[in-house]
């Protein structure tokens, strides 16, 4: 069984470490010196790259790779906007399985084994094949109703995390102008609700309101922004920029 892995960044490396234990995986990432020349009988094409802000280019690039290598099946692991997999499926006339990566960088290989690998596809045959692929690699799987739903779920997961950090950025700014405000006392106050309500309701998870940098949380909430209430998106962006400025 031979697969081709397109993209060898953090996501691609985690996938290679996990999948290559049971399968032969060829790496294609010209920017990192890995080039697959010619055509082979690839069972799966794993997509693990993404160009932020260039979704049309991503869709076209994946479609070009499908035409070039003619894989048996397509599996996209990248974080993408809602509707991306459906667009690629329309262009290639080929079922597309979506199964996004979850976890904290740079420990993605570990989290591939700890989180269930959610999958979605319009083709039941391809869906079952993806489940068998992951099960053979020692992963659990769960199904989402559609690729669009799973694309949305992945973006909501990181955006909700970013929202909580932005919320604590706000609390920390407020504490600077409230006489005698004590963030430690606030955190103890909120933890008491967790104890009394047994974690079921009324919780504002305690976070550190630091600046949100990196290449995950903010880029992902930008991908979700077409579906977000504009005021929420603007507030999150503004709060993070204020924190960048030390406010």
What predicted TM-score, i.e. pTM, was given to this entire model? 0.92
Q: Which residue is it, tokens 């049309």?
A: 56
Spell out the residues 6+ positions from residue 168 whose beta carbon is closer than 8 angstroms to its own. 206, 207, 208, 209
Residues of each domain in the chain carrying CATH 3.40.50.720: 2-144
Read off the tokens for 110: 């570990």
Among 163, 50, 139, 144, smallest CA distance to 97 is for 144
Reported as a single tens digit per residue, the pLDDT across 102-158 is: 988 888 999 999 999 999 999 999 999 999 999 999 999 999 999 999 999 999 999
Confidence of residue 159 (pLDDT cuts 50, 70, 90): very high
pLDDT of residue 203 exceeding 70, the answer is no
On whether the CB atoms of residues 206 and 187 are closer than 8 A, the answer is yes
Reported as a single tens digit per residue, the pLDDT across 206-234 is: 778 889 988 889 999 999 999 999 999 99
- Per-residue pLDDT, averaged over 182-197, amounts to 84
Among 68, 80, 76, 61, smallest CA distance to 12 is for 76
Residue 18: CB atoms within 10 Å: 21
2-144 is classed CATH 3.40.50.720: yes
* 73 vs 94: CA distance, rounded Å: 8
């Amino acid at each position: 069984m031979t697969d081709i892995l397109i993209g060898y960044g953090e996501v691609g490396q985690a996938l290679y470490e996990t999948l290559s234990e049971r399968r032969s995986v060829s790496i294609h990432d010209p920017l990192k010196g890995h080039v697959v020349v010619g055509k082979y009988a690839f069972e799966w094409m794993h997509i693990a790259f993404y160009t932020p802000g260039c979704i049309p280019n991503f869709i076209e690039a994946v479609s070009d790779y499908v035409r070039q290598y003619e894989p048996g099946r397509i599996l996209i692991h990248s974080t993408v906007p809602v509707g991306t997999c459906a667009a690629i499926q329309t262009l290639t006339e080929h079922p597309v399985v979506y199964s996004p990566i979850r976890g904290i960088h740079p420990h993605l290989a570990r989290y591939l084994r700890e989180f269930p690998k959610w999958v979605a596809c319009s083709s039941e045959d391809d869906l079952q094949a993806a489940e068998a692929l992951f099960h053979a690699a020692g992963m659990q799987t769960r199904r989402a109703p559609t690729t669009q739903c799973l694309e949305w779920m992945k973006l909501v997961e990181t955006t909700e995390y970013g929202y909580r950090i932005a919320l604590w950025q706000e609390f920390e700014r407020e504490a600077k102008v409230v006489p005698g405000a004590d963030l430690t006392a606030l955190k103890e106050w909120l933890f008491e609700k967790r104890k009394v309500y047994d974690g079921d309701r009324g919780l504002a998870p305690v976070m550190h309101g630091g600046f949100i940098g990196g290449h995950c949380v903010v880029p992902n909430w930008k991908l979700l922004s077409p579906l977000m209430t504009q005021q929420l998106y603007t507030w999150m962006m503004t709060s993070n920029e204020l924190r960048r400025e030390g406010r």
